[in-house]
Structure 1
């Protein structure tokens, strides 16, 4: 079994659509990953169909997002009112929709099934078996790893997810890890066959996320940000896992010590709890920094790049990240990153070169790290230059080239099995 030079790929993303705006609900880095990888594969001659669950009756059944890239909305359960934890009960309906779409094609239409997150892996397992094509799976996050580093107050991932992940690991012809650390987790925690685990680093759109030409004063004026403040930017979902509350608490520590408190700009919407943003604002009031917190909704990529360039520092305090796309994109714009030393962030952020890795989630540690960097213009400029150099490692075209090789290896494994 081989994969043709211009493969037809069934890309499955059950719980979140690549068309959704990252930064709210369940939409995040995975949305960007699926969209950008699909387009990069299409530039290499592939034809990609992305299957995702329909969440509105107004959504068209098909949307062409780029040449040779099609998004298919599959009806599975009620359009609204379901969150990610409700979706296992709708996998049968989603699978039926995927199989029906393929049934309208010529026999042997798809060459490979590439699934994202364990829910999609369950569907892809059946589809790949039915079509006799290789199954390639990207986990994005792992339940056992998340449960080992839970944020305070966050609920652990259920046993059903862990069992589901184990099944996908067993059945996949190839597993794609974002970093060497994730590959090690797959082998150590899920007993994955090392020969089937392949590391393919996600990319960054280096045309959109670049240093740009506008200076910081002009950018801040255009975005309505304080001209003279030190600005720390957080971009992502407002939820315990991403830990924006840690940054607010760190600002509270600085205020209590009588030190300069930067302006914290949060670009993101509530995820998990609809009151998450109000809770973050209430926390800022409690620790005495309400006037230093600016919360705005998530924005598109071009505007996000402007926010990165306008900030002095981008902070990524997550309790776990399989890759850390925000950190990679921020560095590509030439802005230093202060990140938690967890998961893929340890790969993306070169400590002392492109940013700073913080060893724990203690607000006092973060207060010191932020204050030291914001107070040292020379060091920040050196890290900015290092951030731009570090970003050169990541590009979606390179990721697509590697992924095509993974597809071929997966086909060989499928033949052998």
Structure 2
């Protein structure tokens, strides 16, 4: 089967969606399918052979984060050529409602389309504003996937329709077999806690953890906090500087280092304040054997099965986090049964299982693809007119990027 996968977000600064697309593509290739991924990336950014780049992006604030996207007539021409030349049996488009490659690919699609929705949000003025003109486009999508119940709720609430829930995937064994790093490994006298996330993105919750450090050290003076991720976090660094080597900023780390970090520490803390639809990093930490301590946002409650697979604390409450950390670090062996339950439960998220679920959606869509679906060329919507205009673009070079 020839599958074209569209990723709206840039591979220059990869995050959860990019990793999901990458791993799904590689698992499909491993199973004998032909896969091409369309995604933004700078010319200097190394990408796998199966990735076709659409060029540089602009940074746009989105859902409490920053999305790096590209859009516009020139990019639309590149998308059209990729679709036409790929002769795909099926297009799998991620986040199709974001003005990006994904929306452009949906406009030009004339065959079977599967879409995966990753986003979770309480409300969106942007989606509410554009929903009257984008909802008709959803008719092109023959199979909808949401990565979690939270992502499904967002889809139903803002755009209508429904989706089957297929979670994000993890290569469980890669984390379970990760070597420990003695510098990060905890002891009875010096237990270790890890944080991983973009340091300058408030919703990742570093300020919550930073405010919990002092009360934890009062109770457990030997505790160490290992903070990994890109970003400056000037205020947090200044706040934590008086604690000396009890707090270490590791900077950006590789995938292998991430797995080793999770395998080495006593606890992984996820203090996110919202905007998470799933929580793949929780699954990674559990796969490596770390005890997860997470805020009680709905997505994390779902992954931790309401607190049976990890510890929960009140969202945005440093005192609540400090109490849970003090309890966990003060009784290091008490969390062993929870770790063992988590190590068993994570296999439901292994890519061997998740890919089979995705392929089941593909099979369903292909079995019912009696007619190719395309947008009515007589459409008078704004998007119909823009699509008609971009059809005339033959691929002139340039950035062609719209904010």
- Paired with 2:370 and 2:204, the residues of 1 have a C-alpha distance of 37
Give per-residue Cα distances to partners, 1:301-324, cap 9 Å, x unaligned.
Answer: 222111111100011111232111
Equivalence for 1:278: 234
Structure with greater contact order relative to length (CA < 8 Å, sep ≥ 6): 2
Could you list the per-position Cα deviations for residues 247-288 of structure 1 after superposition, in whole angstroms to 9, with x for gaps in the alignment? 111113335x55536211111002xxxxx3323212324xx5
Match of 1:236 among 197, 222, 226: 197
Q: Which runs of 5+ in 1 are unaligned?
A: 1-5, 21-25, 65-69, 148-156, 271-275
1:3 corresponding residue in structure 2: none
Bigger Cα displacement from structure 2, 82-91 vs 324-333: 82-91
- Please give the TM-score of this superposition, normalised by the length of structure 1: 0.77
| Bigger shift: residues 340-349 or 361-370 | 340-349
Indicate whether 1:178 and 2:158 are aligned.
no
* Residues 179 and 166 of structure 1: CA distance in aligned 2, closer, same or farther (over 3 Å): farther
- The 2-side partners of 1:224 and 1:31 are apart by 30
Counting only pairs closer than 5 Å after superposition, residues 209-358 of structure 1 correspond to structure 2 as: 209-212=175-178, 219-221=181-183, 228-238=189-199, 239-255=201-217, 259-260=220-221, 262-270=223-231, 276-285=232-241, 288-320=242-274, 321-358=276-313
> How far is the alpha carbon of 1:12 from its aligned partner?
1.4
2:161 paired residue number: 193
Cα distance in structure 2, aligned partners of 1:279 and 1:119? 35
The two structures, once aligned, show a CA RMSD in angstroms of 3.0
Shift of 1:141: 1.7
1:402 aligns with 2:357: yes
For structure 2, the residue ranges without an aligned partner over 5 or more in a row are 62-66, 374-403
The 2-side partners of 1:13 and 1:166 are apart by 24
Measured at CA, do residues 414 and 116 of structure 1 come closer, stay the same or move farther in structure 2, by a change above 3 Å?
farther
The match for 2:77 is: 96
Tell me what 1:73 maps to: 53
1:12 aligns with 2:17: no
- Number of the residue aligned with 1:136: 114
1:374 and 1:380 in contact (8 A); partners too: no
Q: 1:369 to 1:41 in 2, by over 3 A?
A: same
Which of 79, 98, 105 is the equivalent residue of 1:127?
A: 105
1:386 aligned partner: 341
SS in 2 for 1:265: strand
Q: How far is the alpha carbon of 1:166 from its aligned partner?
A: 7.2
Local SS of the residue matching 2:239: helix
Distance 1:410 1:231 in 2: 47
2:168 matched to which residue of 1?
202
Alignment partners' CA distance in 1, 2:273 and 2:240: 20
* Distance in 2 separating the partners of 1:88 and 1:304: 26
Structure 1 residue 366: Cα displacement? 0.5
Distance in structure 2 (CA, Å) of the matches to 1:48 and 1:165: 31
